[in-house]
Amino acid sequence: MNTRLIAARVLARVLQDGQSLTTALDSPAFIYDSPKDKAFVQAISFGVCRQYHRLDFILSQLLDKPLKDSEVKALVLVGLYQLSFMRVKPHAAVSETVSALAKKKSWAKGLLNALLRRYLREQDTLEAQANQDAVAAVSHPDWLMQRIEHDWADHAAHILHENNQQPPMVLRLNLARTERDSYLQRLADLGITGTAVAFCPSAIVLEKPVAVDLLPDFADGWVSVQDTAAQLAAGLLDVQAGQRVLDLCAAPGGKTAHIFEAQPQLKELVAVDVEASRMQRVTDNCQRLKLSPTLIVGDAADPASWWNGELFERILVDAPCSALGVIRRHPDIKLLRRPEDIAVLQCLQRDILNAAWSMLAAGGVLLYATCSVLKQENEQQIDDFLAAHPDAAELPIHADWGIATTHGRQVLTGMESMDGFYYARLVKNAVH
């Protein structure tokens, strides 16, 4: 199948059906002739999602009336993305995109050809017009721009810019098995350039992404792929030997594994996630890393259905959130997330926090984490929680990363090359 057509059908599933980009790309309906073809489809699909609002604005300038056929519209966007952002020769981009149209849609070939060729003729004017349009210029939906500008007025331009960049590939070393300097040298011997992160002992940022099977001892669990911001959780949780630890909303298991790698002498590490399919990913990751946490499929907000009543000394609440801090890794978030989602997520976060608190031992520490940059899900959530729980106190986070907020610490997307992330530490005190 033509790679442009596959990309268009992937995008139609996102734009029309509301599928996540990852789910659409992984569909068995799409068969690739080679790994190179699959990589090309992924590059176009991610790129169109990243630049959708800009490309859609340009398309609106080229059309007299909107295109009703979602697949044809997606193909035009595929063509525009190639012409504007990829190193594809213009004549090849046009001819290959036009020829991708299925026979039953041959009616659209002339239209598609005309639109792409007109873009080439008027490219400078159209791009200038896009730069003057508030939404198109930054390629974000208006509601999201407003939320980010409201919360982070001084940083909004930086966040919006970083959301549209390709993120780095970051490695998490199992420091129980290898030292960072020696692993960096092993990478260098293979021609892979990496940089150590000063404030995160396990993290290496690669200059260029590589296939995981090229990483030394990946199959044996010496190294995993995880953004630096997510790697900070294990250190902030400060687990000690002999403790019972709970990881709520644990899938895909990166933080679960890192906690166990950092402290293998735990009494028990329990990881909970509500979806069995997502828990399978935790199982797979832990098997590769040769780790054996207790895995439970259950609702974090309803511990009565799975908890045995034994308290935990440490709890990580990796809360369900808008994921607006990881847009650069999942650009379809800009297309699928809706403003009304935030209040719903905020209620769920509150319910999970309350449930987790009931399972925390006196003197125990709860770490609240999201991959969001919205204050409503982060410091405001913690402010509300502290007001409602007299036995809760905040433990300050002193760090060389992120921004100290009213409660907790916020990493904004792109800071020290990290994803957007939030952390707050709470300790449970006895009430007199």
Active site residues: 371
End-to-end CA distance of the chain: 70
Residue with tokens 């057509």: 5
C-alpha distances in angstroms, 341 versus 30, 102, 323, 338?
Answer: 31, 37, 11, 5
Smallest CA-to-CA distance from 279 within 250, 245, 299 is with: 250
CA–CA separation, 14 and 20 (whole Å):
6
CA–CA separation, 158 and 145 (whole Å):
12
CA–CA separation, 347 and 54 (whole Å):
33
- Please say if the pLDDT value at position 63 is more than 90: yes
pLDDT, residue 430, reads 67
Q: In the chain, what percentage of residues exceed pLDDT 70?
A: 99
**DSSP-assigned letter for residue 169:** P
Q: Write down how long the chain is.
A: 432
pLDDT, residue 102, reads 67
CA–CA separation, 147 and 297 (whole Å):
34
C-alpha distances in angstroms, 335 versus 40, 246, 413, 418?
Answer: 21, 33, 18, 22
Domains in the chain: ranges and CATH: 3-134 (1.10.940.10), 170-225 (3.30.70.1170), 230-428 (3.40.50.150)
pLDDT, the chain, mean? 96
- Please say if the pLDDT value at position 352 is more than 90: yes
**Banded model confidence at residue 106, pLDDT cuts 50, 70, 90:** confident
**Banded model confidence at residue 104, pLDDT cuts 50, 70, 90:** confident
Tokens of 410: 């916020």
- Give the pairing type, strands 360-370 and 421-428: antiparallel
Q: Is the peptide bond before 252 cis (omega within 30 degrees of 0)?
A: yes
The model's pLDDT over 309-320, given as tens digits with 9 standing for 90+, comes to 999 999 999 999
pLDDT, residue 105, reads 81
CA–CA separation, 84 and 59 (whole Å):
12
**Banded model confidence at residue 88, pLDDT cuts 50, 70, 90:** confident
Q: How many helices (H) and strands (E) does the chain have?
A: 18, 13
- Please say if the pLDDT value at position 1 is more than 90: no
Residue type, 64: D
Smallest CA-to-CA distance from 372 within 330, 422, 336 is with: 422
* Burial class of residue 132, CB neighbours in 10 A (0-12, 13-18, 19+): exposed
The model's pLDDT over 254-310, given as tens digits with 9 standing for 90+, comes to 999 999 999 999 999 999 999 999 999 999 999 999 999 999 999 999 999 999 999
pLDDT, residue 72, reads 93
Residues 203/189, Cβ–Cβ less than 8 Å: no
The model's pLDDT over 376-431, given as tens digits with 9 standing for 90+, comes to 999 999 999 999 999 999 999 999 999 999 999 999 999 999 999 999 999 999 65
Overall average pLDDT of the 247-251 stretch:
97
Overall average pLDDT of the 158-165 stretch:
98
Q: In the chain, what percentage of residues exceed pLDDT 90?
A: 95
pLDDT, residue 431, reads 59
What is the secondary structure of 324-363 as a DSSP string? GGGTTT-TTHHHH--TTHHHHHHHHHHHHHHHHHHTEEEE
Residues 418/228, Cβ–Cβ less than 8 Å: yes
Helix (H, G, I), strand (E, B) or coil at 104: helix
**Banded model confidence at residue 75, pLDDT cuts 50, 70, 90:** very high
CA–CA separation, 228 and 85 (whole Å):
28
Residues 376/116, Cβ–Cβ less than 8 Å: no
CA–CA separation, 288 and 219 (whole Å):
6
Smallest CA-to-CA distance from 427 within 298, 314, 337, 333 is with: 314
Overall average pLDDT of the 53-64 stretch:
97
Distance of CA 319 to the CA centre of its chain: 13
